[in-house]
Amino acid sequence: MNTTRHWPKRAFILSRALSRAFSDTPSPTFPLKHVTRSNFDSALVELRSHVRAADFVAIDMEMTGVTSAPWRESFEFDRFDIRYLKVKDSAEKFAVLQFGVCPFRWDSLKQSFIAHPHNFFVFPRQEIPLDRTSYEFLCQTTSMDFLAKYQFDFNACIHEGISYLSRGQEDEARKRLISPKGDQLTHLSHNLRETMDLPLVRVADVLFTERMKKRLGEWRDDLLQNRVGGPQEEKVPDDLNQQFRTVFFKMRPALSLDGFTSHQLSLIRMEEVKNDHQRSAEMKINAAVGFRHVIDLLSSENKLIVGHNCILDIAHVHSKFLAPLPSTAEEFVSCVNKYFPSIIDTKILLNADYTLQRKMKRSSTSLSSAFSLLCPEIAHGFTRNVLSYEPCVKVEVHVDEMRSSNWNSGAKHEAGYDAFMTGCVFAQACSHLGIDFQLHSPSENLTQNEKLQKHMNLLYLSWINGDIIDLRTGNRSAELSGSNMIRKPYQKILFKNIVLLWGFPSKLKPSMIRDCICKTLGPSSVISTYCIDQTAVFVQFSKAELASDFLNLKETLEQSNDAISHLHPLSQLLEGGNTRAASYETYKEICASPISKVLFADQAEAVGIKWKTELLPSDKEESHDNTRSHLESAMDSPQAVQKSKTRNTEDVVNDSSNKRFCDDIIDSFLKVEKIRRTTNL
């Protein structure tokens, strides 16, 4: 074997190995600020300054699951409003365990972005009593196994995770504070309860209490004024002033009360205790708000929020920290746009620009793939030798007092690191779109950049079908140019032509269901069947009239109990008497329910749909008459079929198909009769 011609390749491999072996220091782990309950307050102060100075903030989350049942996954046959309902269900059922926040600020001197990645551990712990006893959420085994694979610290999350209140829950807690039962938020000692419950029944008591409240307020104001060196007014002593004397108790100013009756002292004490406990309750509520302080910060600073395929992330933000998710996409986007008016989805950028598509080379547009392909120098550290034909937007990481531009990329799927990757992908995508950060000034607002405006507030509601939702209107947006390069075009779906079937015999496959229907309504009556799960399918008919015909025929056959009904081609589909059929709107009703059942048929029953067939409201009587004619034609001549036919000749149900249907029925009927006679003999 001649080894000479292999020498250049071996030399290259050897040189790379030597360069790694003799490098100064190995790359350190990625610098990431982990935030738990113990350091949340200090981290929030630092984060506030970083967000205020940032050009944009990247976010990411780790959740306990994505879909509560296989039939709730995103399907080709999901209508736009159905897709939102499935996102809503996911955000309501699962918990957020980690929330990554990474502010990016452009440093014109270093010609680099400065990133501050934060990894918040979050856990829905109940810090104050509300209406419900405790939080509940689902865990999807595949998601939990995925987190465990990447060494997720579940103990840190559960024991040290930061709790939170949504805006609605905070409002509820404050109403309870000022309500007659507000003392439920506090734990008063037993010896104070009689004082707290002392009723004010006399006018003199009410006037005395108000006067004491005013006097105590003046005393407090005087102390604060004297502490800051303000002028002191000379006041003429009176009886009331003689009763209030400032003393020091444990090195702190206090009041000595003289000349009051025991009843008056109880009134003064009651007011002070109530005020103290109200302040204590307010402090507890502010502490219980917890991680939502971060969400409020991102909202109040009105920064550009960047995520990757982030519709579910935004839904979780709404559900966990703002308010319960509304029933429609239009209401959802109205609330999101109010609090976060500027959101960019990097998945939109990657699929909307032809240059980026070509650079991705038809690869996956997952976050990790995009990060490796678009930001190789950042992914491997700037000191490593990475073959790159184009300059990469530089990023330097600051965590506390540590600065770094060289690290290991081994922290994937921690929310803080994924937020960092998202921000880097966004910066690089902006560079490809023609945004020159070297000309970027601190006063320039990226939310107003013309080259980003057409991509702003557009999120993939479904990546599978390319459905894009516009957060400004809630409407479906046309997919941008370039996005169809990596995904096959799907057939056009007419939802009015679709019939939903569930509860049929388990032995039937979608292809067998199609054959049963085509034997009845013609070979071209069904365009396609789509499996929802093993208990349900969609049947798309070639015409809406055929969908109506099928539903009426199914009802008629189930109401009949004669031999013809049992020999009908649809009898195989109706065997067992549990087959249900409905229009597409019933599918929406089932998807909108908060109930969680693994199988679709069980879900439909739990929702309360008991009837066997939902007939379409239009042309019901005419369709019913036409269906009867199909049954009668089984025993009549072909001429009778021709007389009962009311549709045009281009309809799928034509003479030949009806004749075949009649022949099949008669042949089957004769076979059954022959078997009966033979048995009797």
Q: Is 400 exposed, middle or buried (0-12, 13-18, 19+ CB in 10 A)?
A: exposed
Q: Are 78 and 109 in contact (CB under 8 A)?
A: no
From CA 21, how far away is CA 491, in angstroms rounded? Answer: 55
pLDDT of 217 over the 80 cut: no
pLDDT tens profile 105-153: 999 999 999 999 999 999 998 888 776 667 889 999 999 999 999 889 9
pLDDT tens profile 477-493: 865 544 444 455 556 78
Taking Cα atoms as reference points, which of 437, 448, 472 lies closest to residue 458? 472
pLDDT, residue 660, reads 52
pLDDT tens profile 187-201: 444 444 444 445 545
Determine which of 39-53, 167-181, 334-348, 430-444 has the lowest per-residue pLDDT on average.
167-181
Beta-sheet strands, E only, within 387-546: 395-399, 402-404, 458-462, 467-470, 476-477, 498-502, 526-533, 536-541
From CA 196, how far away is CA 183, in angstroms rounded? Answer: 10
| Residue that wins the pLDDT comparison between 315 and 406 | 315
pLDDT, residue 401, reads 78
What pLDDT band is residue 7 in, cutting at 50, 70 and 90? very low
Q: CB atoms < 10 A from the CB of 567, how many?
A: 17
What pLDDT band is residue 363 in, cutting at 50, 70 and 90? low
pLDDT tens profile 302-323: 999 999 999 999 999 999 999 9
pLDDT, residue 632, reads 41
What are the boundaries of each domain within the chain? 33-164+291-470, 495-607
Longest dimension (CA), the chain: 128
Please report, as a single letter, which amino acid is at residue 564: I
Residues β-bridged to residue 583: 499
Beta-sheet strands, E only, within 165-269: 244-249, 252-257
Q: What kind of fold does domain 33-164+291-470 have according to CATH?
A: Nucleotidyltransferase; domain 5 (3.30.420)
**Percent of the chain with pLDDT strictly greater than 70:** 71
Q: What predicted TM-score, i.e. pTM, was given to this entire model?
A: 0.76
Q: Which of the listed CATH numbers 3.30.70.330, 3.40.50.300, 2.60.40.10, 3.40.30.10 matches domain 495-607?
A: 3.30.70.330
pLDDT of 264 over the 90 cut: no
Mean pLDDT of 533-558: 94
Taking Cα atoms as reference points, which of 510, 606, 613 lies closest to residue 554? 613
